Structure 1
Amino acid sequence: MSLSVEFIYETEFTLSEEEEGEIRSLLSFAFLEEGREVGELSILFCDDERIHELNRLYRNVDRPTDVLSFPLDEEELLGDVVVSIPQAKRQAEAYGHSFRRELYFLIVHGFYHLLGYDHDTPENERVMFTKQEEVLRKHGIVR
């Protein structure tokens, strides 16, 4: 099994090598659980202005958001996940859990979108969110 994850930083925020390894482990676990063997994705960390621009350009939604996913229709190239660091910090505070937990949740959420999951119906939401929480829980990342 081989999952390649590239981290791209457009903000002053950066992850440690240990944190990057932890995220790779989370995503590799989820990938393996899906029966997938080879894949590649990138994760872009940015500010509210950049994610707002991307949201407006690609989704026609004129506001910032927390995470965006850009899946590719290729077997091995999964796509890109974009995370707003300021929004993740605000949400962690609002939800009363750690920034780490919120950040990892957003990354895993975006990753499942790359794998084709969505939360457009109550049943799809239940399936996707159950998978996300299982991955986080198995890695000790709880609220």
Structure 2
Amino acid sequence: MELQLRDHTEGKLQPNQERLAEKVLAQAAKRLDVPEQAEMSLTFVLNPEIRELNRDYRGIDRATDVISFAIEDDDDLTNLPAEIRAELPVELGDLVISIDKVAEQALFLNHSADRELGYLLVHGFLHLNGYDHEEPADEEKMFTLQEEILDGLGLSR
């Protein structure tokens, strides 16, 4: 999977956090059998930027931890031959994570910043891949899968 990583944190994002993000997303992609030609972006931001995005796109005027922007344009490709479709990149979408919220929530929840970052990455990635937690059965399925991926990376609670 191709990952485009952007850093809007004014130097707050640490190199080990970038490496962790790459590792977590690669493991999650493997677990979900995401095609190798899949593409996504990950942008790390500070609270003011994610607050603006949350306000503009979700109508909620406060900072949040992660926002997922899934791209669902498969319908445009249905008329192409299968051989061509198989070679085209799969656009998963964009994840935006507040590095401020990673630190705040890790402290509040009394676990490591790595655990918190891993959780937000997997949670957002699952949303990009069609998982949701609106209904109890969907929530159980999504959260169980989240914990399995995180446990496999040594990021247990």
TM over 0.5: yes
Who is 2:30 aligned against? 32
SS for the counterpart of 1:40 is: strand
The correspondence for 1:10, drawn from 8, 11, 33, is 8
Deviation at 1:24, TM superposition (A): 2.6
Confirm whether residue 67 of structure 1 aligns to residue 31 of structure 2: no
Q: Distance in 2 between matches of 1:114 and 1:105?
A: 14
Residue identity in the other structure for 1:5: L
Number of residue pairs the alignment of both structures matches: 140
Change (3 A) 1:89 1:124: same
Q: Where do residues 42-53 of structure 1 align in structure 2 (5 Å cutoff)?
A: 42-53=41-52
Q: Decide which of 114, 118, 121 is 1:104's aligned counterpart.
A: 118
| Matches of 2:100 and 2:20, distance apart in 1 | 21
CA 1:20–1:61 in structure 2 vs 1: closer, same or farther (change >3 Å)?
same
SS at match of 1:141: coil
- Identical columns (%): 40
- Superposition TM-score, scaled by structure 1 size: 0.90
1:74 and 1:135 map into 2 onto residues whose CA distance is: 27
Residue 19 of structure 1 deviates from its aligned partner by 4.6
Query: Counterpart in 1 of 2:108?
Result: 94
Q: Give yes or no for contact 2:150–2:156 (8 Å, CA) kept in 1.
A: yes
What RMSD in Å do the two structures reach over aligned CA positions? 1.5
Moved over 3 A (4+): 18-22
Look up the match of 2:57: 58
Structure 2 gap segments, 5+ residues each: 75-89
TM-score by length of 2: 0.82
